[in-house]
Amino acid sequence: MNHQEFLKKIEVELKISKNSEYTIRNYIKANEKLLNFLNKQPEQVKEDDVKLYMSENLTQRAATSIILFLSAIKYAYINILGQDITRRIKRPRREKKMPSVLTKDEVKKLINIIDSKKSWLMISLMYACGMRVSELVNLKVLDLDFDDKIGHIRQAKGKKDRIFNIPDFLFSKLRKHADSQKGDKQQYLFTGPKEQLSSRNLQKIVNNAARRA
């Protein structure tokens, strides 16, 4: 399989999965750059080749860019060639910023006052990852990659996708919840009476907790 055939197959898979144009463009670009740098056919690329590319091209890039690159390569090789050549490559950690609306102490107080496990998980994830209410309610089960400990926010502010690290303190609880949603054949990570949780309902949960705190 030559480069163009491989890249076309990636594009088809991404479109079938209803990824945004931003994701399609960046995933194809990442794989194209890797193949051009190595001057190898897709089937010949191994883990050490990916590491070589990273050491030559990505050492000065932000952690987010490196994680996005690895996600693009992983997606392509799993879906097209049935193997994950990035599996043993360590992902960099990035700083997690809390929204500036509340202080860290205020956020802790807000989270600790919540009794419902589901509400606690939602609000903890939202503040730990700096999400907007609309981003959290639109998060889907398939947007989470527990192998790489990252999640994808589709068409965030500015219509661009972005990724976030799944916090260690939420990892096991979030994975259990995602598995439960998948078992119930739910598309969205958090659901309400009418399947998808609305932004208004989530905002009510946050406001009620804030008043109690």
What pLDDT is recorded for position 61? 82
Whole-angstrom Cα distance, residue 72 to residue 30?
6
Whole-angstrom Cα distance, residue 23 to residue 11?
10
What pLDDT is recorded for position 158? 55
CATH 1.10.150.130-classified regions of the chain: 3-81
| Distance between start and end Cα atoms, the chain | 59
The tokens describing 210, both together, are 């804030």
User: Are the CB atoms for 183 and 196 separated by under 8 Å?
Assistant: no
What pLDDT is recorded for position 99? 46
The tokens describing 105, both together, are 């102490």
User: Are the CB atoms for 123 and 201 separated by under 8 Å?
Assistant: no
What pLDDT is recorded for position 101? 54
pLDDT along the chain (213 residues), means of 10: 95 88 90 96 96 92 86 95 94 57 64 81 87 88 88 70 86 93 89 80 78 67
User: Are the CB atoms for 113 and 119 separated by under 8 Å?
Assistant: no
Taking the domain 104-212, which CATH number applies?
1.10.443.10
Burial class of 19 by CB neighbour count within 10 A (0 to 12, 13 to 18, 19+):
buried
Pick from 163, 166, 178: which is nearest to 27 by CA? Answer: 163
CATH 1.10.443.10-classified regions of the chain: 104-212
Rg, the chain, Cα only:
19
What pLDDT is recorded for position 96? 46
Q: Domain 3-81, what architecture?
A: Orthogonal Bundle (1.10)
What pLDDT is recorded for position 123? 87
What pLDDT is recorded for position 75? 95
What pLDDT is recorded for position 106? 64
What pLDDT is recorded for position 196? 81
